[in-house]
Chain A
């Protein structure tokens, strides 16, 4: 027992060192909450390249995949104190909660940080929808802005297009798959005849459907199923019954496998914004790099995006403002967005992305080897007009999860269409306390 006790004492000593030791910058530490390493990396890059800045970063990254990010962030914000985040990130699926909804009161207006927000937005020509989403209705002030523009395109395999239609030209392919869903299914039939699937799974068509709908899930405090979203049931069923896809689920192994062309059958394309190319298809494409192209989708949509918010109680306003301004509003060649759009932020040859600032986009080049040299901005810039915050609600992450589950039950045949809708309504009411409109 003595041995055990001495071991415990030794460990307690180690522990006491561990809980008090923390490396601080000369001016202090900025707490950052994020759901990927993207923003932490870029802010760290700023700190590394600006020695006079003098702060260090204390980053907390919690993935959204297990639904853990929001609870942890909420806890940290409501608790306040020295460990509360100074800067925090929010994604399209829940930005409304932090910019306009339940948690909006914790955000600092950019103006209050000392940024001349209105002038900066105009100079940078920031995409209007990111401003709309990031504006707090209570006082009409901007509390969050992003750095990306996330209008979506249809991203397809050139070799398959050549095989089926004898062309891989984006304009002609756009005319084959759209506009509308009828043309899309005609194309699916032609692809099927040659043994291809048009998309990987129902998740692929969900994002265009979700973000092209007229209204969001909640209207006047009640659950509302937009006709466009309800149609997802039928479209999804049609895809499955006709074997037009590999029936994968997005963000799973099988979905990634289809990007590399190693799934059950070869898959023609995916719906997505520029970031899907950079971070998902590009990283998982295996041998198919260079075989891709993008075209106008059969239905306009946007998907995702990251917004940066500041804690109203931050004691490092100037430093926080400096970082946020650099990421979201600086439209010079030294700003983040220029480097981001041109893929040279961490040195040449990085991934390129559509950014929120129109000014930056005008001076950037979107040619990608991955797309066989196609300039992706040609398609993505017009696509950004479809991006708006009108159909977002603050509980989208949860409600979408339930809806997707219900639709899968219908397509798998374990529920009828009516049962699936009924299940969806009951589940939303039981889990969220939001009643269905009748």
Chain B
């Protein structure tokens, strides 16, 4: 594909610049400038609410040193990872399962359009609302959840004051809000695959599960990478739900790194400089992880994908002439 482009590259190159110009400009103005500003703050003494002036520190990395020995910050990274994993694994498994069921060509589930619409519903609601709703559901000593416990003769339980209960609930909210999204993204990925691929597989006598594992899944490589990376990034930036649900409590059990950075920068003593340093640490961490995932997935499927694209293009051409 890329080879075929190279022939024409010289005459059309300017359109590449032209078409990406709006993006680049908007990004530079609305993101890059504020981002660089944030990075610089990491090396300065900027803290305190009414402070507008700042100087570079004599020891430039002092904020980074402080933040790397900050127990609460390190703990918040662990918490973030724990909550993300507890949410992502079941979310991905369920989304894949739904994708397999919903894209099976012969044995369709009736009303799957309606199911898809319903599964995506939780994602549409403002995170703040969902957080409040769930913290009400799990209130103590009176709440729907505790009413259920009482029905079974159990003592009422202080969910919001229990580290693991809180984490599980936060992870569940994330799962609940996002499994529909992931499923829709994966399904749309499958539906974007050239149908002739499936038809030829069926003619060859492949069973539905063979089609799913041998044709569907490999073709979804790009969409899977996308889902994994965005979920990872979203997970490591998790903010709204823990903030609204319990504001990081109990004892920082739901204090994610983003919430910690927010707490440090926007409340109390306004430690912009340390929060900026913490952000940069998170940035590095996220970058390393996603680059790792990106390369891992690419190497694994690179060869397969090239074959795939060639075949698809052949078939697409055939399909067009019919």
Contact = CB atoms under 8 A, between A and B. Distances in A.
Given A105-B50, A263-B142, A433-B274, A70 B251 contact: no
A431 B263 contact: yes
Interface in A234-269: 246-249, 252-254, 257, 263-264
Interface string A383-399: 00000000000010011
Contacts of A78: 49-50, 52
Interface stretch (B5-13, B65-73, B285-293, B307-315): B65-73
Interface string B126-162: 0000000000100111110000000000001010011
A423 B71 CA distance: 10
B249 A74 contact: no
Contact of A253 (B142, B243, B266): B142
A264 B72 contact: no
A253 B49 contact: no
A288 interface: no
Contact of A431 (B49, B142, B243, B264): B264
A408 interface: yes
Nearest to B48: A102
Contact of A426 (B72, B269, B270): B72
A248 B141 contact: yes
A247 B267 CA distance: 28
Interface in B71-106: 71-73
Contacts of A32: none
Nearest to B271: A433
A66 B242 CA distance: 12
A71 interface: yes
A115 to B, nearest CB: 24
B47 interface: yes
A434 B264 CA distance: 12
Interface string B259-273: 010011011111100
A398 B49 CA distance: 14
A252 B264 CA distance: 26
B71 A408 contact: no
Given A247-B140, A254-B141, A415-B251, A430 B48 contact: no
Interface in A413-438: 414-415, 423, 426-427, 430-434
Given A103-B50, A412-B158, A433-B47, A254 B269 contact: no
B49 A103 contact: yes
Nearest to A412: B161
Given A432-B269, A433-B274, A423 B141 contact: no
Given A102-B48, A430-B72, A430-B73, A395 B268 contact: yes
Per DSSP, chain A at the interface is helix
B163 interface: yes
Nearest to A106: B50
A409 interface: yes
B122 interface: no
A395 B247 CA distance: 17
B250 interface: yes
A395 B50 contact: no
B252 interface: yes
Contacts of A434: 269
B50 A408 contact: no
Interface residues of B, number: 37
Nearest to A405: B249
A433 B141 contact: no
Contacts of B71: 426, 430
A105 B73 CA distance: 32
A90 interface: no
Contacts of B162: 412, 414
Most buried by A among B47, B49, B143: B49
Given A103-B50, A414-B163, A71 B140 contact: no
Interface string A166-188: 00000000000000000000000
A254 B267 contact: no
A394 to B, nearest CB: 9
A114 interface: no
A149 interface: no
Given A405-B249, A415-B251, A427 B142 contact: no
Interface in A55-89: 66-67, 70-71, 74, 77-78
B225 interface: no
A414 B251 contact: yes
A406 interface: yes
Nearest to A247: B141
B80 to A, nearest CB: 16
B252 A427 contact: yes
A431 B247 CA distance: 13
Given A405-B251, A430-B71, A431-B264, A264 B141 contact: yes
Contacts of A77: 50
Given A106-B50, A414-B251, A431 B141 contact: no
Most buried by B among A71, A253, A401, A405: A405
Closest 7 CB pairs of A and B: A430-B72, A398-B268, A432-B268, A432-B269, A71-B266, A254-B142, A74-B49
23 contacts: A67-B267, A77-B50, A105-B50, A246-B141, A253-B139, A254-B141, A406-B251, A408-B161, A409-B161, A409-B251, A414-B162, A414-B250, A415-B251, A426-B71, A427-B252, A430-B70, A430-B71, A430-B72, A431-B72, A431-B260, A431-B268, A432-B271, A433-B47
